[in-house]
Structure 1
């Protein structure tokens, strides 16, 4: 009986070690895919922001998206506009010589909403004011624009992730 138990233990351990090795490989492959898709999301979101503003460098963005995803983008690139080309910032840093007229129209609307708020606003509040549904697919691009405005000194981001005028 002890001999049968020992054989069963060894066999069971071997089977489980093989299964663990397969699961480790699956996990590694899955983590690599998640990282690849995360990079693609960032590149595509940046492309979308530039495309919405009408200023993407279509060739460069398509190449970056292809490198990040290993394939071609789902949406064809929009025509290239002159502002934003050659490294020019579409959203300039806020300073004494800049005004909201220097921002693309959609960013100007966001600035008006934030300035008109009674209290610090969440991204979903701004999205609603823009007439968008408060679903992640609509809120996340607005959040990206709010962060960009905050990073460039146009608005203030609170530690709680809310936005208020500077």
Structure 2
């Protein structure tokens, strides 16, 4: 009887461990899809703002939307005026032992300074407020995207509640 119970316990633990691993993979897939949709929303809002201002560049916005939603990658422009971040280049890399906040581009550096000086977990809207931005989705979402990039590359920590802390 005791041996049968032990066998059942071990089998049950293996089954649940395998199920947990499948669920982790599904969650990662769902989170990746949510991130793609968030990026598409940001690109669409920017397009709408540009169109409302009367100067949309439809081809450029279609290309940006396709990239944000995981479509075919855009062909990089062959121009001498290419800037960091264009054509898939990283503006900054993963945080290493030698990395400093001063190595970040100015807008990311400003966000880092707010998070470091925040005194606790901050939401994207808290960071936007500290940066003096309006709390409109069109202003907060780009900040949220930058916070996510900083977290993905190890510069800050993102909590499960979507708040950000210094590392």
TM-score (normalised: structure 1):
0.54
Q: Which deviations, in whole Å up to 9, do the C-alpha atoms of 1:90-115 show, x marking residues without a partner?
A: 12110112211221101000000000
User: CA distance change for structure 1 residues 116 and 144 in 2, over 3 Å: closer, same or farther?
Assistant: same
5+ unaligned residues in a row in structure 1: which ranges? 1-37, 49-59, 70-78
Match of 2:20 in 1: none
Change in CA separation of 1:40 and 1:148 when aligned onto 2, cut-off 3 Å: closer
Rate the CA distance shift 1:40–1:134 in 2: closer, same or farther, 3 A.
closer
Structure 1 residues 152 and 61, CA, compared in 2 at 3 Å: closer, same or farther?
A: farther
**Contact 2:128 / 2:139 at 8 angstroms: preserved in 1?**
yes
Greater displacement, 96-105 / 124-133: 96-105
C-alpha distance in 1, partners of 2:92/2:129? Answer: 22
Map of 1:85-100 to 2, 5 A cutoff? 87-100=88-101
The 3-state SS of whatever aligns with 1:164 is: strand
TM-score (norm 2): 0.54
Q: Where in structure 2 are the equivalents of 1:27-106 lying within 5 Å?
A: 38=37, 41=40, 44=43, 64-65=63-64, 80-84=81-85, 87-106=88-107
2 CA distance for matches of 1:80 and 1:62? 19
Which structure's CA Rg is the greater one? Answer: 1
SS at match of 1:138: helix
Partner of 1:136: 137
Give, in whole Å, the separation in 2 of the partners of 1:132 and 1:86: 28
Segments of 4+ moved more than 2 angstroms: 38-45, 60-69, 79-88
Gaps of 5+ in 2: 1-36, 48-58, 70-79
